[in-house]
Structure 1
Amino acid sequence: MIRTESLPTSEGVLAAAQSIAAILPPTPLLPIEIGAVRCHAKAESLQPIGAFKIRGAWWALSHVEGKDVVAVSSGNHAQGIAWAARKLGKRAVIVMPRDAPRVKLDNTRALGAEIVLYDRPGEDRDEVAARVIAQRGGTLVHAFGDTRVIEGQGSAGCEIAAQLGRSPSRIVTCCGGGGLAAGLALACPEAAIDIVEPEGWDMVGQAIARGEIVHAGADPPATICDALQPTATRPVNLQVLMNRAAPGVTVTDDEVRAAQLWAFAHLRLVLEPGGAAALAAALAGKVALDEGTVIMLTGGNADPDRFARMLAG
């Protein structure tokens, strides 16, 4: 079963924030300085599963009837679904790419979820998920195109406003399919939303610029940002982000690595590549910054060996 719902709302984001506050402490809002600008970074990498995805997973699964849920993910949504399913007494099957970082595969299994692997590129992950549902039943909880997931991700914006004591002027966020960006846009309607995507994977930015869904080409470039590789956004995300988010910027692998190094040196944080994308854009001078800017640090599930090699240069 694939859920069809209305658009996410600001009221839904507030309700999600209240529900999430009852089970999870807020993540730190860290003061940082980039160039001559003092702003803040939201350390979602310190969530129990190492990523913001726990928010949308919890809120979505809180509204799923029945015990069986199915999700598609390269790793962070998978862990969020697995964590929420275990806490809510549900069974989770996650469709994951065979080349997902080992740490994400291992952590998802450790949380009790069953994993169905697919080849990337080569297989359509949504078709694999559809076959799982046809064979076993269950409810699909989409990683970014689900109304409740979007509202849950927006709870991070409610935390930011409470921690700042005011609305942020600007939020710089990584963007895969647009679930987090859409949620933040609903949570902080006065804030500018800057989305950051890997070079060659700016499907959301292009969609905003054109006003229609844009699909990745047949041979998209390689990127170290494994968490930011959806081949297209969804209509619900685009509808929320149109006229709210700028078309966005892209970052290179080298810029992402520089951001990972910066976070490790200055914040003592381990960030996975996708989790450092927004910081990469800020450090590279690709987005405007002011004292009301908040930069999202969205994930810390870095492959240990790759991270060690990156630190060693």
Structure 2
Amino acid sequence: MLNEYLKKILAARVYDVAIESPLHTATFLSERLGNQIWFKREDKQPVYSFKIRGAYNKVVQLSEEEKAKGVIAASAGNHAQGLALAAKELGIRAVIVMPRTTPEIKVMSVRARGARVVLHGDSFDEAFKHSQKLVEDKGYTYVHPYDDPDTIAGQGTIGMEILRQLKHSPDAIFVPVGGGGLAAGVAAYVKALAPDVKVIAVESTESACLAAAKEAGSRVILPEVGIFADGVAVAQIGENTWEICKDYIDEVITCTPDEICAAIKDTFDDTRAVLEPAGALSVAGLKKYVEREQCSDQNLVAILSGANVNFDRLRYISEVAEIGEGREVILAVTIPEQPGSFQRFCSLLGRRPITEFNYRYGDDNEAQIYVGVKVDAEPGSRAALVDELREDGYPVLDISDDEIAKYHIRHMVGGHAPAHVSDERVYRFEFPERPGALLNFLKKLGKRFNISLFHYRNHGAAYGRVLVGLQIDDDKREQLHGYLEELGYRYWDETENPAYQLFLR
């Protein structure tokens, strides 16, 4: 199998449109981690992503009959732009089916490259089904974003460039994984020529389909997929990509959204480029690998796969980057409600900077404060601060990893519910970012339940994070859950969440 892919990669036609992306020395990160770290800058491609390689290599090898039919794909991101540019360069008609929730900047980018955009459905699955219907009705040639040997070969040219650009073989190459096209292509080339080089896949914890397949020994479909790292938000590893990845990927590392945000900041510090979450995933995995292995003086390469990030997501990314790096801790602290108590608390923190402080008067005896504090990134710094405060007599709860605390409470601290709102239950939702989503929610609830709390904040993703308080009797809870299941929005009961109990209950 490797020899077949090696031939395909060596013969791949990518440089009509793609560049040989530079291998950038990550000076700051190398010094911090004690290894020689290199960034493979696929964010510098004409479409700001590696996807142009595989798309062009596939399209250029279509038969004249297939080209004449025009090409089509379902995509909300980088493949759409890659295919649009490939088709434009070859003078072929291109149709891209995108969910209606796709950010306008991506729709505009695809149209700017000459493709016709069809907006259909609210999810990728709905867009994909519609694209297949158009294939049947119109006879278009479908170009898969990852699960095709020619596409895999196009992406494999990245591995070829890495081995050629480095004077010595790297110790490990870190590759982001969604459907697996990039990982399969890089692994096929590298393992054929330099089998001792580790090829390490990195996935988001919200869409770790390769890790699940490795554990099960076969391809599996994830029951649900988070979309923070939308470029790798795939529920099942590809069939062709799995045949390579199962044997030639050395290991899979998974990273949380917080860790990905920290990696975006790291890459910005070294390159002044702002990556999309999927684009920085490999850096997040590299950092976890170095911490786990305690290795030094190794040559480690991270593939920066893309930079198609929505501008309005940057606010969220910057908010949680320090938490993901372990440089900020979010605490719920009880201090005496008396003059001078805040000053005494700050004095105890010493020279640690306070990044956020939220408080509102609650009663005459105790004050509940929400405070962010910068700490060293060294392991144990968070725990040491908490222990120090507790030893000085402060009741403290570390809520740095609490979803409610990070995304909602920090913007809502300002008062508890009045005493008569004793029947409040709190739910966390993911609403589709589309017109009418809130109205649909309200219509489904009708006038059955009173809304006692509501917080929504746009994070530039396809789904909005919403916190809702409802006044509901215990005997009506099952009825409510029935309505919510009909609604189809993902939700979690957060009534017992400690951050909610401390600041808003």
**Kindly tell me: are residues 122 and 83 of structure 1, through their superposed partners in 2, closer, same or farther at Cα, counting changes over 3 Å?**
closer
Contact map agreement 1:71 1:140 (CA 8 A) in 2: yes
Distance 2:228 2:125 in 1: 20
Deviation larger for 127-136 or 276-285: 276-285
Which residue identity does 2:9 align to in structure 1?
V
Distance 1:120 1:169 in 2: 42
1:94-149 deviations in whole A, cap 9, x for unaligned?
12222233322211111111122233448444322210101111111100101110
Residue 52 (structure 1) aligned to one of 17, 27, 50: 50
Distance apart, 1:307 and its partner CA: 1.9
Distance 2:121 2:305 in 1: 25
**What is the count of residue pairs matched by the alignment?**
304
Contact map agreement 1:193 1:244 (CA 8 A) in 2: yes
Deviation larger for 254-263 or 23-32: 23-32
Deviation larger for 19-28 or 254-263: 19-28
1:218-240 deviations in whole A, cap 9, x for unaligned?
xx253311111122122211111
Distance apart, 1:254 and its partner CA: 0.9
Residue 14 (structure 1) aligned to one of 7, 10, 15: 10
Contact map agreement 1:194 1:287 (CA 8 A) in 2: no
Match of 2:257 in 1: 253
1:234-266 deviations in whole A, cap 9, x for unaligned?
221111112211341211111111111111122
User: Is the aligned partner of 1:310 residue 2:317?
Assistant: yes
Percent identity of the aligned residues? 33
Match of 1:117 in 2: 119
User: Is the aligned partner of 1:244 residue 2:244?
Assistant: no
Distance apart, 1:295 and its partner CA: 0.4
Contact map agreement 2:199 2:251 (CA 8 A) in 1: no
Residue 99 (structure 2) aligned to one of 88, 97, 100: 97
Which residue identity does 1:76 align to in structure 2?
N
User: Is the aligned partner of 1:235 residue 2:242?
Assistant: no
Distance 1:307 1:199 in 2: 20
Match of 1:26 in 2: 20
Match of 1:224 in 2: 228
**Kindly tell me: are residues 22 and 109 of structure 1, through their superposed partners in 2, closer, same or farther at Cα, counting changes over 3 Å?**
closer
Match of 2:156 in 1: 154
Match of 1:128 in 2: 130
Deviation larger for 118-127 or 270-279: 118-127
Contact map agreement 2:177 2:232 (CA 8 A) in 1: yes
**Kindly tell me: are residues 86 and 207 of structure 1, through their superposed partners in 2, closer, same or farther at Cα, counting changes over 3 Å?**
same
Match of 2:270 in 1: 266
Which residue identity does 1:257 align to in structure 2?
C
Larger radius of gyration: 2
1:255-293 deviations in whole A, cap 9, x for unaligned?
111111111122111100111111112234467566332
Distance apart, 1:9 and its partner CA: 1.0
Contact map agreement 2:147 2:241 (CA 8 A) in 1: yes
Match of 2:77 in 1: 75
Deviation larger for 31-40 or 267-276: 31-40
Contact map agreement 2:53 2:154 (CA 8 A) in 1: yes
Alignment of 1:164-313 (within 5 A): 164-189=166-191, 190=195, 191-217=197-223, 220-285=224-289, 291-308=298-315, 310-311=317-318
**Kindly tell me: are residues 57 and 201 of structure 1, through their superposed partners in 2, closer, same or farther at Cα, counting changes over 3 Å?**
same
What SS class does the counterpart of residue 131 from structure 2 fall into? helix
Gaps of 5+ in 2: 321-505
Which residue identity does 1:279 align to in structure 2?
V
Distance 1:121 1:109 in 2: 20
Gaps of 5+ in 1: 1-6
Contact map agreement 1:8 1:150 (CA 8 A) in 2: no
Contact map agreement 1:102 1:303 (CA 8 A) in 2: no
Match of 1:42 in 2: 40
Which residue identity does 2:45 align to in structure 1?
Q
